[in-house]
Structure formats: structure tokens, C-alpha cells
Homo-oligomer: A and B are copies of this chain.
Amino acid sequence: MSGSKQLKLGAFMRPVSIHTGAWRYPGALPDANFNFPALKRFIQKLEQGKFDAFFMADHLAVLNMPINALKRSHTVTSFEPFTLLSALASVTEHIGLVATASTTYDEPFHIARRFASLDHISDGRAGWNIVTTSNPDAALNFGLEEEVEHDERYVRAREFYDVVTGLWDSFADDAFIRDVESGIYFDPEKIHVLGHQGKHLSVRGPLNIARPVQGWPVIVQAGASEAGRQLAAETAEMVFAPAGNLEAGKALFADIKKRAWIIGRDPESIKILPGALVIVGETVEEAIAKRKHLDSLVHYDSGIASLNGALGYDVSGFDPNGFLPEIPETNAGRSSRERIVALAQREKLTIRQLAQRVGSYGGLSFVGTPQTIADEMEKWLIEEGSDGFNIMFPFLPEGLNDFVDKVIPELQWRGIFRKDYEGKTLRENLGLARPANRFFKSDR
């Protein structure tokens, strides 16, 4: 079946799981967010399963929720992405390492440098998930009294991307001569001073690290709003925007690839990998029962807090048995709010039902046997709903082990997932070209 379309798979990770109730699930590791050896086992298992990437989610504040919900949340403590992924780099050989980093609350010089360093340390396995950070509490941790407005965050993000990629190109790929005899370490014609002066940023450069192994680490983007999709079309190589079902997936897939095509990019140079929660059972009924058990571990206080967070608006004052009122425009991620409002209307959910759904993960999920899960994934692949998925595991390690031991072999048997890594770098495994240096031609 060689030559057929191939799924790309990332693992979208929080140490304990992305699911609020996961830490209480039988066999789970409630302390995984303190437990580096556990994370090491997780990533090594993913590498055994030939995953493209380990994708580390992030937040720049303790999530904004009432204390009676917060006290139930394992999200208040987690490893920081750069330290975690760097530590995992030296205990793995093939799997990509995607770190979330904010363009609103960090400096392009730091971001460019850390990703370049991670790329050198991992021999070409780094990826940058560009986020603009919609969380008013994050602003307060960085000296701002008020959050930067949604669209302005995206304007800054675009400029930030230009600066970071420009800094990565500070040295030509072949700049470093290291001629011991003459004492010349690098060719002085092959260093570039960026000298960026823009609306939001002023950065001189050059970056004090050689060009990354991949040229540029792989660019990942998750925004699904108008501004988010446009940023993705212009910059992203992997898109993680959510798609709740196949129809939504197809629409997103077509939209992003078309936007890219319009500005002259090859649509194949962007891989669309929406997030998907996968729960595996011996039978479909067993898988559904696992999910019900997992969701039952989410307290209502946590559910309503998650709903408020996702909406960027406090609805806890309304009757939980009534329907969602009109929600005013807020500064929260626009696409998240719109998706939840649509879900409530489509399924006619009360606020209580909606809170339980959102609190327990309200997005795309595949719940079934390895065969039914593979059926769904194959359908998405063939019908151009996506190029693959960022898999979310419901609980760890069981959910992860089930996926690697049961679903991966099924996908491999069908010829839609690799049996071994094709390349050495994340970029090569994803089938992405190495970007040329914008300031220097190279023979490399």
C-alpha cells in the first residue's frame, strides 16, 4: 500500500492528561506533573509507536477559576515546556518535540534562541506552537493591567514570527568554517544583522546561535478564528485548530489549504492535525463505558468553571437548568466561544449539561475499538477532513498504551501509518521542506 496517503500523528500532552477528571481514573498517575520518570516512559512509548511529535500544551498562569473548582484541578502545576522537552530530548532519538510559546508575553530573541538550541540538542526535532495567549490572568503575571485585545495580539504574533524566523537566519548554513590553521571560526560574510524595527518589536540581532538543524523548527498554529486561520495560512506547517466533527474538519481543511494556496504556498506544506480524544475498548460498549466513568469523575464545580473559562464569560449566575443566554463579545479566544455556543444550540444543552460536557472535554473524540477508531481516522484522511491528528489520551498511562499497542498496529496494517520513521528530523517525518535562508543562498 506504499504511496497511499499517510496519517501524521502528534500526541497533545499535559502530564496527567488534558481531561479534568483523569487523575482520579483507576490506574492513573495523579502525580505525573511532578514525576519526570513517568513523562520519560510516556514519550518513549510514543516513540515506540512512531508518533511524529510530542506536543506540550502550556499556560502562563494558574487557570482562572473559582477556588472550589481550582482545588480539584491537576492543571495548577506542570513542567515548563522548554525544560521538559529538552530533558526528554536526551532520552529519545526520533520523536518531534513541539513546545507552546507565547508571542504576547515573551521576547523574540529568547524564543528564537531556545527553539534553535532545542533543535540543535535534539538534532532537528523541535517545533514551535505559536500561541497569542488568551488569558487575562497571564497579563497580570507580566506587568500588564489589561489583556492585549484579540486582533492586536495576532498583529503582534505575525511580526513576532517574522523576527524569530529572521533571527534563525542570522548565520548561513555553511557559515562555520572552524579552520584551526588560520584561526577563522566563521566566514564574516555569512552573518546577518537583522535590524528589525516594527510596530510592536525592535530587535537588532544577530542571534547568538547557529542556524537550527531544520533551518527553522516546524511552525505550529492552533487558532481557528479569522485572524488565527489567516496566521496559520501564512506561517503554519502544522495546524492544530479544533474541528468537532468530520464536516467541520473538511471545511477547516479546505479553508486553510485554500488560504495558503492564494498566497502562493503549496497546500501540501501545511499539515492539518486537529486534536482528537481517543478512548479504546475491547468493544464499543466498553469504550463508551470508560468515557462515562471518566466524565463522572468531573465535579460540577469544575464543569462550570471550565465553561466560564472557555466562554471568557461567567455564566454561573444563570439557572443551570436553563439555556445559555446571549454571550457578549469578549477578549477570550473567539473560536472557542463560537464552538461552544454552536454545540449548546445544536444539542439543545442546558447550562448544566454544557458545563459537564465542556468540563470533561467537549471536542472531537473517537471512542470505540481499534477497528472503529481506525475506520474513522481513515475516513478523515481519505475525505480530506485532516492530514492526521493530535491525539489526546483520556488517562495515562493506560490510554496512551492502548493507543500505541492496539490502534497503531491497526493503522499500520491498513497502510496509512508508518512502520518506521522516514527521516531524521521532525520536518522530514512530516514531509516538509527545509526552508531556505532568506539572507543567504546555500548548497546544503
Chain A residues packing against B (C-beta within 8 Å): 23-24, 30-31, 33-34, 36, 40, 59-62, 67-68, 70-80, 82-84, 86-91, 105-107, 109-110, 113-114, 116-118, 120-121, 123, 137, 140-143, 145, 171, 176, 178, 180, 183-188, 191, 201-210, 297, 299
Q: List, sorted by A's number, 26 A–B pairs whose CB atoms are closer than 8 Å.
A: A23-B185, A34-B176, A36-B121, A36-B123, A40-B90, A59-B208, A60-B109, A61-B204, A62-B208, A70-B191, A71-B186, A74-B185, A76-B185, A76-B208, A77-B209, A79-B117, A80-B114, A83-B86, A84-B117, A86-B86, A87-B89, A90-B90, A105-B107, A109-B142, A141-B203, A141-B205
Instruction: For residue A258, give the distance in angstroms from its CB to the closest CB of chain B.
Output: 36
Q: Say whether A204 contacts B110, CB under 8 Å.
A: no
Contact of A114 among B82, B117, B191 (CB under 8 A): B82
B209 touching A80 by the CB < 8 A rule?
Answer: yes
Residues of B within 8 A of A73 (CB): 185
- Write out the residue numbers on chain B whose beta carbons fall within 8 Å of the beta carbon of A207: 62
Residues of B within 8 A of A180 (CB): 23-24, 30
Give every chain B residue within 8 A of A59 (Cβ-Cβ).
208
* Cβ contacts under 8 Å, A118 to chain B: 83
What residues of B have a CB within 8 angstroms of the CB of A299 in the complex?
A: 183
Say how far A166's CB is from chain B's closest CB, in angstroms. Answer: 12
Contact indicator B141/A184 (Cβ below 8 Å): no
B contact residues around A23 at 8 Å (CB):
178, 180, 185
**Of B79, B114, B202, which is within 8 A of A143 by CB?**
B202
Given contacts A90-B40, A140-B204, contact A67 B24 (CB under 8 A): no
Q: How far is the CB of A400 from chain B (nearest CB, A)?
A: 19
Q: How far is B183's CA from A62's CA once the two chains are assembled, in angstroms? A: 18
In the complex, A183→B152 CA distance in Å? 39
Q: Which residues of B contact A76 (CB under 8 A)?
A: 171, 185-186, 191, 208
- Inter-subunit contact B34/A80 (CB<8 Å): no
Residues of chain B within 8 A (CB-CB) of A142 are: 107, 109, 203
Contacting pair B183 A77 (CB below 8 A): no
The distance in angstroms between the C-alpha atoms of A210 and B62, with both chains bound, is: 11
Chain B residues with Cβ below 8 Å from A90 are 36, 40, 87-88, 90-91
- Closest chain-B Cβ to A198's Cβ sits at a distance in Å of 10
Q: Do the beta carbons of B40 and A120 come within 8 Å of each other?
A: no
Given A79-B120, A80-B117, A187-B71, A141 contacting B204 (CB threshold 8 A):
yes
Assembled-state Cα–Cα distance A183/B30 (Å): 11
Partner of A70, one of B67, B78, B110, B188: B188
Which of A30, A70, A83, A142 is most buried by chain B, counting CB atoms within 10 A of its CB? A83
Q: Contacts A114-B83, A299-B183 known; A77 to B208 CB distance under 8 Å?
A: yes
Q: Is the CB of A72 within 8 A of B117?
A: no
Residue from B109, B121, B210 within 8 A of A77 (CB atoms): B210
Chain B residues with CB under 8 A of A79: 117, 120-121, 209
> What is the bound-complex CA distance between A186 and B70, given in angstroms?
9
